[in-house]
A and B are shown apart, each in its own frame.
Chain A
Amino acid sequence: MFYRTSGQFKTTYESDQALFPIKQDMFLLVVILAIMYAIFPMFASEFTYKALLVPVLIYSLASLGLNILTGYAGQLSLGTAGFMGVGAYACYKITTIFPEMNIIIALFLSGFFSAAVGVAFGLPSLRIKGFYLAIATLASQFFLVWLFEKWAWLYNYNASGAIEVRTMDIFGLVVTGPTASPMVQYYFVLGIVSVVTFAMINVTRGRYGRTWKAVRDMDIAAELVGINLMRAKLSAFAVSSYIVGIAGALMVFFWKGAAEPNLFDIPMSFQIVFIAIIGGLGSVMGNFLGAILIVALPVVLGLLPELLGLTIGSATMEHVNVMVVGSLIIMFLIVEPHGLARFWALIREKLIIWPFPH
């Protein structure tokens, strides 16, 4: 009923291959974007921006980057947080060496550094795959965090050993540093995430996306039909690390404001892998669903007892939180092993044929 597709005839190949073959999808997206761009900023408090909206967007972006590599190109990676760190440190160095540079340009430039590092660590993928590749990327994770700690030039020989974000503006509007309004930072992050997501939807639908999927499904077959494996794999590493690097820079510059090297350690890599798997590998929207479950849900759960007027110790609540989120993850994976994106796809399918069963 809500998803009635009757009457929407496809008369050309273009219309059949359009981004939204069904009108309702387009309509939904418009509603969602309106909520994100207009409705939320009208109501959200500073806490909502800083603890819910911005982190979800940044984690979604990082997971999108990982999904390009793991979900689309089939290359396992456990080094995501390390590549995020490369993006963050590159952005930090760029903005301190060229203080006049616009932060948007610095942000997109820093992605190239993480892309280069990603390609370098992607080289082993030409010879090894599966779990073996995962171990190779794990090595990059250890190496990069070690580098962030030991190479004092990276943090400008700062006594604290951490990178700190100074105040920067775009045409007079303060976007980073303590005086930046959380709403401005939210819009900034939202804008970048929207642009990158839109670009990636199209990349994954296009020639590169199809090459990656072919490699993922069977690399020997892909090679036989004439796909250059080296180019396919390395381009996946480059694109993936580029996005992940931007996510890392956004995290430090537009959310946290300071970062120690061990922020980019393995726990965050795993967190992003969880988001990608629970959201759904090989899907763009899954990253957002996964991030909401892994990043936002614990925050909301933490607020519940106060809201219900219960007095539960903060530490007890933290334990309960871990248990609830953990069991939800297991439940979702049992109910739908292909992730939340597939879950939504099934619901949508059912809605289209509703009220008639198969």
Chain B
Amino acid sequence: MKHFANFSKVVAAGALAVAMSSAAMAADGLNFPNLTYRTGPFAGTGTPIMNGQRDYMLMLNERDGGIGGVPVDYIECETGYNTNKGVECYEKTKGDALVTQPWSTGITLQVMPRTNVDRIPILAPGYGFSPMSDGNTFAWAFNPPVSYWDGAYMILDYIAKGDMSSLKGKKIVLLHLDHPFGKEPIPLLQKLSEMHGFELVPVPVGLKEMQNQSAQWLQIRRERPDNVVMWGWGAMNAGAITEAVKTRYPIENFIGIWWSGSDADLQNVGAKAKGYKSISFNVPGNYPVMDDIRKHVVSKGKSHVKSDADLDTVFYQRGIILSLYLAEAAKTAQEHFGVKNINPEQLRWGLENLNITEARLEELGMKGMTPPLQMGCDNHTGHAGAWMLEWNGEEFVRVSDMLKPDRELIKPLELEKAAEYAKNNAPWPGRGDLACN
């Protein structure tokens, strides 16, 4: 009955041989794998970020010969945002990897417990989940420069023009993806709504309804909210903006999280979406660093970008910022330990002690592109701050001063949820034997 497996074994044995020989590929630079999603349903938003991340690392290799003289071995492993592929990619790349960048909440959740055992830092910039900020629980996980709870606070702060009590009696709709990522801001927003007396109406958008949100916008029209805050991703953003234009919702009262601010989502509606806002920890523009990337990467034909205009988009430049964190952390670690070829544990120290000052940003030709960032042992996020960007019909422009989260308010909630996570995943190692500095 089971003679079938004869066949299967031949195939599997071949697979085995292949799998094992692949482990033999050794790297001689700083091995930074990235679990990309240039394919699949979210490729539209993933590709520009991945391009930015890649091009910054390539630029460092071309211009400075890498980081501290060691070239960066930048590897991509394609997941298509699929969690099964995520496990595969993590296992495939972890051998020589100094870091893992899982790029999806689902993959992050699967991989995070393993990184404690494999002792590889996990870098989830701008995503991950908010309690990750507590470095004493999540010793190996980092999500600079701001968490979703910080983002929710800063958006409300912007709506309230700095005076939260002015929100009293207002009605705010949270249009969110019905998925762990989209539900993330709800605990904080609920807390704020109790504190400041505004009404919060969460309107979920199912993964299958992303492109057709007529039911949700009918509800929004009935509710007549003062503001709509969006926690969207992928096709949901373009869907929501199109519906908002169609239902004539006053678009200037519509604000998205940083993943809902891709130029590509707005280009279809163009001028009709003028006034749409998105909070962002990077401001697109012409910075000196962009010239270096043009000179060393794009003009040499090494980049994946299709046209020069792609280099000015918010998401491409955000990719650059995300690679900046990794590169600076590696540099911090190299300087502290006095070794060029750092190991994952040293990179972890570098991330924990990352301090990107205003002066350093200027030196890198990135002044004003992103807020200065300082992380710490109990602060794996940095909580640097962000700006509000507005769509002027053609591109995103900055319309606010830097917004800052209220840490006094958010931190207790983070500690509470971090402790809960540790309890659910008991025995959770926590900081363990890792020295703080």
When distances are taken between beta carbons in the complex, the residues of chain A under 8 Å from B421 are 159-160, 164
Which residue of the partner chain, among B13, B19, B424, contacts A51 with CB atoms under 8 Å?
B19
B110 close to chain A: CB less than 8 A: yes
Interface residues of B in 66-93 (CB under 8 A from A): 75-78, 80, 83-84, 87-88, 91-92
When distances are taken between beta carbons in the complex, the residues of chain B under 8 Å from A259 are 83
Instruction: Give the distance to chain A from B49, nearest Cβ to Cβ, in Å.
Output: 13
A255 close to chain B: CB less than 8 A: yes
Q: Is the CB of B5 within 8 A of A51?
A: no
What is the interface residue range for chain B against chain A? 35 or more
Q: Is the CB of A166 within 8 A of B78?
A: no
> Scoring A residues 295 to 307 as 1 if CB is less than 8 Å from chain B, else 0, what string do you get?
0110110111011
| Segment from B179-187, B260-268, B399-407 that makes contact with A | B179-187
When distances are taken between beta carbons in the complex, the residues of chain B under 8 Å from A341 are 4
B215 close to chain A: CB less than 8 A: no
When distances are taken between beta carbons in the complex, the residues of chain B under 8 Å from A128 are none
A245 close to chain B: CB less than 8 A: no
When distances are taken between beta carbons in the complex, the residues of chain A under 8 Å from B92 are 47, 51, 303
Q: Write the chain A residue with the least CB distance to B424.
A: A164
Bound complex: CA A260 to CA B105 (Å): 9
When distances are taken between beta carbons in the complex, the residues of chain A under 8 Å from B13 are 35
Known A29-B5, A304-B18, A307-B18: A257·B113 in contact at CB below 8 Å: yes
Q: Is the CB of B36 within 8 A of A314?
A: yes
A19 close to chain B: CB less than 8 A: yes
> Scoring A residues 26 to 53 as 1 if CB is less than 8 Å from chain B, else 0, what string do you get?
0011011001100010011111101111
Q: Which of B84, B420, B427 has the most CB of A within 10 A?
A: B84
Q: Write the chain A residue with the least CB distance to B8.
A: A292
Interface residues of A in 314-355 (CB under 8 A from B): 314-315, 317-319, 340-341, 344, 348
When distances are taken between beta carbons in the complex, the residues of chain B under 8 Å from A31 are 6, 9
Interface residues of A in 52-73 (CB under 8 A from B): 52-53, 55-56
Bound complex: CA A36 to CA B9 (Å): 8
When distances are taken between beta carbons in the complex, the residues of chain B under 8 Å from A29 are 1-3, 5
Interface residues of B in 359-409 (CB under 8 A from A): none
When distances are taken between beta carbons in the complex, the residues of chain B under 8 Å from A299 are 15, 88
Which residue of the partner chain, among B36, B83, B105, contacts A315 with CB atoms under 8 Å?
B36
Known A167-B426, A256-B87, A262-B179: A285·B1 in contact at CB below 8 Å: yes
Known A161-B180, A263-B83, A263-B106: A296·B11 in contact at CB below 8 Å: yes
A103 close to chain B: CB less than 8 A: no
A interface majority secondary structure: helix
When distances are taken between beta carbons in the complex, the residues of chain A under 8 Å from B178 are 149
Which residue of the partner chain, among A45, A297, A313, contacts B20 with CB atoms under 8 Å?
A45
Instruction: Give the distance to chain A from B73, nearest Cβ to Cβ, in Å.
Output: 13
Instruction: Give the distance to chain B from A27, nearest Cβ to Cβ, in Å.
Output: 9
Bound complex: CA A156 to CA B7 (Å): 44
Bound complex: CA A277 to CA B13 (Å): 24
Which residue of the partner chain, among A35, A158, A344, contacts B9 with CB atoms under 8 Å?
A35
When distances are taken between beta carbons in the complex, the residues of chain A under 8 Å from B1 are 19-20, 25, 29, 201, 284-285
Q: Is the CB of A303 within 8 A of B91?
A: no
Known A46-B91, A162-B109, A296-B12: A178·B4 in contact at CB below 8 Å: no
Q: Is the CB of B113 within 8 A of A177?
A: yes
Interface residues of A in 248-269 (CB under 8 A from B): 255-260, 262-263, 265
**Knowing that A32-B5, A262-B207 are A-B contacts, what are 16 other residue pairs whose CB atoms are under 8 Å apart, sorted by A's residue number?**
A25-B3, A40-B12, A50-B88, A51-B87, A159-B129, A159-B184, A164-B424, A167-B425, A259-B83, A260-B105, A262-B179, A263-B106, A285-B1, A296-B12, A314-B38, A319-B39
